[in-house]
Amino acid sequence: MEGPQFSTVAESKLYRSWGMDVIGMTNLQEAKLAREAEICYATIALVTDFDSWHPDHENVTVDMIVSNLTKNAEMAQRLMAEAVGRVPASRNCSCGSALANAIITSKESIPAETKRELASLIGKYVQ
């Protein structure tokens, strides 16, 4: 689904009953792909609007969201510029070997063409 997904009041009340303070569009796919590519990954979550449960705020509008998205994009650029300078030259986390024990197909069963196509991801594990 493209674009933002707004919660209904019922969904918002359910999330609040679970003790949730923040409702976000998922980034599960990105996190999974980064893990499979052995890339360190972090999420920057920036608020665009109050959810529909909140009685003290005006209704969410597209203009409100676009305005907040624009501000958030500027903030994200500043955050990234700051973060890049703090990334260590070498990493000591487990991200770089996330696939070491994750490939369960025997090396002999993986077609040569597949090995070539996925060499940048799995080459160090299946030669």
- How many C-alpha atoms does 89 have within 13 Å on its Cβ side? 0
**CB contact at 8 A, 65 and 49:** yes
56 belongs to the catalytic site: no
49 belongs to the catalytic site: yes
Burial of 95 (0-12, 13-18, 19+ CB in 10 A): middle
The catalytically annotated residue of 21, 49, 56, 63 is 49
Catalytic center residues: 49, 51
